[in-house]
Structures are given as C-alpha cells and as structure tokens.
Structure 1
Amino acid sequence: MEIKIGVQHTPREIILESGQSAEEVESAVSTALSGSGQLLSLVDEHGRKVLVPADRVAYVEIGQPTPRRVGFGTL
C-alpha cells in the first residue's frame, strides 16, 4: 500500500510502498504521535526502514492496499 508522510518545513512529502497493513501503519503513527516514541518508523517493500522524527510529522495518508500486478500488459 502507498503511504504519504508530510513533514513540517519540508516542501516535499515522503512516499513509500509498504507491505504493512493499514492497522500496523496506524498503530505505528499513533504510538509515535502519542509521545511514547520519538520516531515514526515504517518499513517499505524492499525492507528499508524510513524514520521520521515524530515532532515533525504534519500528516500521514494511508492508501488502499493494491493487488499484486501480474504480467506485462496494463489494464
């Protein structure tokens, strides 16, 4: 699923594709923003970690899960 993270004082947003469920992402965001965590930590499809300081998160947009694409043609 696609996740967009807006960061304060930064003109561009962070966009990543993640294999995490919407519930996992929402839990990580709420933990970071509640003050119990200093960083918002998410993992993308390739296993890379994305760390954003919790006090700099402006917004998080969680997209719909995308089905796996099969084949070479576009539909």
Structure 2
Amino acid sequence: MISAANDRFMRLDEVIKVTGLGRNTIYRRIGEGTFPRQVRLGPKSVAWLQSAISAWMTSVVEGSLAPLADD
C-alpha cells in the first residue's frame, strides 16, 4: 500500500529534471513499457510516483553495472 508519508507525486517537469530524459523519450518509453506509467490525478492532470521513478533509476543503474556476457 502507498503511504503519503513515504511517497509523493512528481509532475512531468520534475521527472524530466530528475531523470535527464526529454518529454518525448519519457512517453515513448512508457509506450514501450520501459518507464513507469503516470497516475491520473484528474481529467487533465497526471503525475508519477516518486517511488516508481526512484525504482526505475535504480534498475537502470543496476543494469549498467551488470557484467557483460562473454560471446
């Protein structure tokens, strides 16, 4: 369960700033299933959970540190 004390919503501008990705890249990766989906807050308002963005960033770092497979 999500606790407001442990999580918060991030708007697109903040997600862009934190991840270093551009708007188009974020939405393309959402479509590809490689980036967390946004949460609908209202009819014209979306945001991302900070915990989802943090988990995604951790997985990217862990993936880049994995040893390369020998061919």
TM-score calculated relative to the size of structure 1: 0.30
By percentage of residues, which structure has more helix? 2
Higher fraction of strand: 1
